[in-house]
Amino acid sequence: MKPDAQDVLAYLTEQMLTQIAPKVQPPYLAGTIGMIGAALAVLTEEWDRAAHRLVEENRAIRALFRKAESLSLEAGLAGELRALAGGEDDDLHIKALDAGNAALRSVLIRLQTAVETRGDAASKALNEAIWAELTASTVRRQQASAPF
């Protein structure tokens, strides 16, 4: 039998919060154990969705880069956008996806800086699309299991 990591984390969370924390003295230590249980709950939720979320975000950012190809941008940024727009997430390890996401977001910031003050319709539309993706990204990252 292969243990499912999400099931194991959920079980450990439940044990930490319902069996261990209530019995620990002094109270501040019980609070610390409660925080550990809450962190385990967040980790449990993120375990299942992290790769999917990162691939989805990376695809969305690359799509924004493809939309930017029609704009007249500084040559260095335009070249970087072209190079990144066609990329794919070949390595599905979380650390690799996260590093790719960070690199894409770094260029996205530069792209948004380049278009946010321009007055043409294409730049305004791209800026709105960037904001829409940033909003969607925030929603994707919300935790259902914890109030923080």
pLDDT digits (tens, 9 = 90+) for 80-111: 999 999 999 999 999 999 999 999 999 999 99
Segment 14-23, tens digit of pLDDT: 888 888 888 8
Distance between CA 35 and CA 54 in Å, rounded?
26
Distance between CA 89 and CA 60 in Å, rounded?
12
More confident residue, 133 or 25: 133
Q: Give yes or no for residue 6 having a pLDDT over 80.
A: no
For residue 123, the model assigns a pLDDT of 93
For residue 4, the model assigns a pLDDT of 79
Distance between CA 19 and CA 95 in Å, rounded?
33
